Amino acid sequence: MTVQLWTYLFVALSFGLYIGIAIWSRAGSTNDFYVAGSGVSPLANGMATAADWMSAASFISMAGLISFLGRDGSFYLMGWTGGYVLLALLLAPYLRKFGQYTVPDFIGDRYYSRSARLVAVVCAITVSFVYVCGQMQGAGIVFSRFLEVDITTGVFIGMGIVFFYAVLGGMKGITYTQVAQYCVLIFAYLVPAIFISMMMTGNPIPQLGFGSELNADYGGGYLLDRLDNLSAELGLAPYTEGQRSTQDVFFITAALMFGTAGLPHVIIRFFTVPGVRAARKSAAYALIFIALLYTTAPAIAAFAKTNLLTTVSNTEYQALPEWFYTWEQTGLIQFSDLNGDGAVQYTGDASTNELTVNRDIMVLANPEIAGLPDWVIALVAAGALAAALSTAAGLLLVISTAVSHDLLKRSLMPGITEKQELLFARIAIFIAILIAGYFGINPPGFVAEVVAFAFGLAAASFFPAIVTGIFFQRMNRQGAISGMVAGFLFTSGYIAYFKLIAPESNSAEHWLFGISPEGIGALGMLLNMLVALIVCRLYAAPPQHIRELVDSIRTPGDR
Amino acid sequence: MQDKYAREYWRANIRLLMILLSIWFFISYLCGIVLADWLDNIRIGGFKLGFWIAQQGAIYVFIALILVYVKAMDKLDSQYRDHHPSSPEQSPEDSSNDAGDDSEITGGRE
């Protein structure tokens, strides 16, 4: 069987599974549609959260990014896992006790204000749309690369599948498909990593392997030392040393952490479990499942970089391994023989460097680089699709609930029946899929540029508003709204300036306090809190029933 | 106004959060970022310590923190209940399920 046949088989099997689950878990009520009837076990919710969280970017791009960033890449690792500590300790149990359907629900009720709810709706929809376009694009790329259909067809197939289980099953369908998708993606990620770790270091556990000694055919010595030495020889930065300034890494890590904890599609997952205790437990499961991939990624990054530097650098073009030519055809590896000696010179100096490697290749080409069997290569394709589709579905649900529940039912058309609301929810998700699909096929140039936007925005708007809503009883609607608006405007303005308006000045000497646009969300969050605390003092304390609401979410509600 | 057990419960909760979040900050921001270069002088096998914490260790500590939190809060909740047999805030959706067994897939908001 060829790689392509295996890929068709795995993708067809996994899609069949998702559709089967969708039919089995149809949603009958808005409660099913929004929060899966709040009957999801903590274990299943942990897996679903992990699949929801780990997007095409985590699966395909993260290891490659770390591979090129070295130790600086740690901000992705710590940022995207450390946020779960905040989520578990500061948000999830209380929001579950509060027990509504959406994040704008909490903001609107806690701050007794329709404007607060609308501000939250705008933030939720903006954050989720930025994110979902990237997922659709990711699915399209995997389809086109592994199944050799064009990107447009790929996006259409992806849309069709998500449409089927999201429209039919809502949160219920999405949750149980995400459980299946987690299993597919983690298996697809770990299998090649274990094979490669065995091959290079003889240690089957990748997390230990990248701190072990290399096998004799790779030259022996500790892997990371060798990587540092190789990098130094080629004039690249040492792999295990940081290059960015400490305060920038600090702020980027913080923006990613607080952003993670503030992302609506992650938060609503905790509305689907039966109670407060289950919400806490499920946050623990979620982080364990996420950590399986996130602790493997830096190992893959180190293996891949070592492989690249030892097998490709200073090798005659004719003598390169087979995978080099295969991926060269896709344009992801580019070699231009600048000095005409017929060999590949990979250096840190742009004027002599002859090799350009796309970061995505580190995961996608890894099985070929390691010479693994064809079915493993096909498995990676199925895993990448699972990662992209599961995240897309979770985000589309946030958009649909924001429209049908927060905008229509709770703000504009309070008179509609549950049946009508459910119909509106399905129509909203349908339209959201069409728009996401459109952007997947015609990606606006700025999608990749504004990924930081989603995190920065969530950190600067939702996180402080929710946390002060729970922990600071005195916070009133004036404080919360002005805080959210200040954080939102400051963060989006800063990002827009450096990414869209004046990208040529996007360098450390122009940044505020040396903080890059990726990390500015953390500062936006501090600004939000500061503004909220000052404005809060100028107006009356929230009414009695709000203080009682806060008291009630603070006390244990279930056994 | 809340009764004294509710206030005590909340104070104990805040104390626990402070401890856990201090460890969270120490391990990720101090050990993983600010002090990482200095910790790199210490080696464990093939890893420099600062590098290992930033790419591996911090994540394991995060998991441990959530697990400790889950255990400690379960204990705190049951102590609260011993003092507080009929919690007025106990809403019907929360008492209808999750009775000791978190894994059951029944119940809902109705």
Distance CA A468, CA A166 (A): 33
Amino acid of residue A467: V
Of A525, A526, A529, nearest in space to A259 by CA: A525
Of A91, A459, A26, A454, nearest in space to A282 by CA: A91
Of A341, A285, A294, A343, nearest in space to A314 by CA: A343
Report angle CA A99, A102, A107 to the nearest 5 degrees: 85
* Position B75 in a domain: yes
Tokens of A355: 């090799």
Strand duo A333-335 + B43-44: pairing: unpaired
Distance CA A372, CA A471 (A): 52
Give the confidence band of B88 by pLDDT, cuts at 50, 70, 90: very low
Report angle CA A43, A45, A49 to the nearest 5 degrees: 120
Residues 19-58 of A with CB under 8 A from B: 31, 35, 37-44
The DSSP code sequence of A372-411 is: --HHHHHHHHHHHHHHHHHHHHHHHHHHHHIIIIIIIIII
Distance CA A543, CA A521 (A): 31
Residue with tokens 């197939």: A157
* Position B98 in a domain: no
In B26-57, which residue ranges form alpha helices assigned H by DSSP?
36-39, 49-52
The C-alpha R_g of chain A, in whole angstroms, comes to 24
**What pLDDT was estimated at residue A290?**
93
Tokens of A301: 């990054």
Instruction: Tell me, yes or no, if B94 comes closer than 8 A to chain A by beta carbon.
Output: yes
The DSSP code sequence of A175-194 is: HHHHHHHHHHHHHHHHHHHH
The SS3 call for residue A333 is strand
**What pLDDT was estimated at residue A291?**
93
Of A315, A314, A296, A306, nearest in space to A369 by CA: A306
* Position B9 in a domain: yes
The SS3 call for residue A75 is helix
Q: State how far the alpha carbon of A330 is from the alpha carbons of A2, A327, A358, A397, in Å.
A: 18, 5, 10, 34
| ipTM of predicted assembly, 2 dp | 0.87
A89/B41: higher pLDDT: A89
**What pLDDT was estimated at residue A446?**
55
Show the domain range for B71: 4-82
The SS3 call for residue A52 is helix
On chain B, the residues whose CB falls within 8 A of the CB of A242 are: 36-37
The reply to whether residue A559 touches residue B81, judged by beta carbons under 8 angstroms, is: yes
Fold of A3-554: Sodium/glucose cotransporter (1.20.1730)
On chain A, the residues whose CB falls within 8 A of the CB of B93 are: 38, 99
Residues 232-291 of A with CB under 8 A from B: 240-242, 246, 249-250, 253-254, 257, 274-278, 280-281, 283-284, 287-288, 291
N- to C-terminal Cα distance for chain B?
Answer: 29
Q: Give the rounded percent of residues in chain B with a pLDDT score beyond 70.
A: 74
Residues A173, A40: contact at Cβ < 8 Å? no
The DSSP call for residue A222 is B
Residue A285: CB atoms within 10 Å: 21
Identify which of A38, A77, A224 has the shortest CB distance to residue B47.
Answer: A224
List phi, psi (to 5°) of A539: -120, 170
Q: Give me the torsion for CA of B7, B11, B17, B19, rounded to 10°.
A: -170
Identify which of B28, B46, B102 has the shortest CB distance to residue A223.
Answer: B46
In chain B, which residue ranges form alpha helices assigned H by DSSP?
4-25, 36-39, 49-52, 58-83, 92-95
Of A255, A211, A248, nearest in space to B34 by CA: A248
Of A489, A375, A383, nearest in space to A126 by CA: A489
Residues 171-230 of A with CB under 8 A from B: 207, 210-213, 222-225
Instruction: Tell me, yes or no, if B93 comes closer than 8 A to chain A by beta carbon.
Output: yes
Q: State how far the alpha carbon of A519 is from the alpha carbons of A246, A379, A451, in Å.
A: 12, 35, 12
Of A84, A88, A72, nearest in space to A243 by CA: A72
**What pLDDT was estimated at residue B102?**
38
The C-alpha R_g of chain B, in whole angstroms, comes to 20
Instruction: Give me the tens of pLDDT residue by residue for chain A, a chain 559 residues long.
Output: 677 788 888 888 888 888 888 888 777 777 777 777 777 888 888 898 888 888 877 888 888 888 888 888 888 899 899 999 999 999 888 888 887 788 888 888 888 888 888 888 888 888 888 788 777 777 777 777 677 777 788 788 888 888 887 777 788 888 888 888 899 889 988 988 898 888 888 888 988 878 788 777 777 788 777 888 777 777 777 777 777 888 888 888 898 899 888 888 888 888 888 888 888 899 999 999 999 999 999 998 888 888 888 777 777 777 787 778 877 777 777 888 777 777 777 877 777 778 887 777 777 777 877 778 888 888 888 888 888 888 888 888 888 888 888 777 777 777 778 788 888 888 888 888 888 888 777 766 555 555 667 888 888 888 999 999 899 888 888 899 999 889 988 988 888 787 777 777 777 677 777 777 788 888 999 999 999 999 988 988 888 888 888 888 888 765 3
Instruction: Tell me, yes or no, if B35 comes closer than 8 A to chain A by beta carbon.
Output: no
Distance CA B109, CA B97 (A): 10
Q: How many CB pairs under 8 A join A and B?
A: 193
Distance CA A113, CA A395 (A): 25
Identify which of B45, B63, B94 has the shortest CB distance to residue A558.
Answer: B94
Q: How many CA atoms lie within 13 A of A309 on its CB side?
A: 27
Strand duo B43-44 + B47-48: pairing: antiparallel
Question: For chain B, how many structural domains are there in total?
Answer: 1
Amino acid of residue A322: E
Min Cα distance A468 → chain B (Å) is 14
Distance CA A102, CA A272 (A): 11
Of A522, A525, A516, A509, nearest in space to A449 by CA: A516
Of A108, A296, A76, nearest in space to A207 by CA: A296
Q: State how far the alpha carbon of A515 is from the alpha carbons of A122, A256, A461, A489, in Å.
A: 26, 13, 19, 17
Residues 75-114 of A with CB under 8 A from B: 77-78, 81-82, 84-86, 88-90, 93, 97, 99
Of A303, A371, A368, A298, nearest in space to A333 by CA: A368
Distance CA A307, CA A329 (A): 20
Distance CA A524, CA A543 (A): 28
Strand duo A355-357 + B43-44: pairing: unpaired
* Position B69 in a domain: yes
Residues 38-77 of B with CB under 8 A from A: 40, 44-48, 51-52, 54-56, 58-60, 62-63, 65-67, 69-70, 73-74, 76-77
A440/B110: higher pLDDT: A440
Strand duo A333-335 + B47-48: pairing: unpaired
The SS3 call for residue A288 is helix
Q: Which residues of A362-375 are buried (b: 16+ CB within 10 A; e: fewer)?
A: bbbbbbbbbebebb
On chain B, the residues whose CB falls within 8 A of the CB of A555 are: 2, 6, 9-10, 80, 87, 89
Helical (H) or strand (E) element with A451:
helix A451-460
Distance CA A85, CA A286 (A): 11
On chain A, the residues whose CB falls within 8 A of the CB of B12 are: none
**What pLDDT was estimated at residue A175?**
86
How long, in residues, is chain B? 110
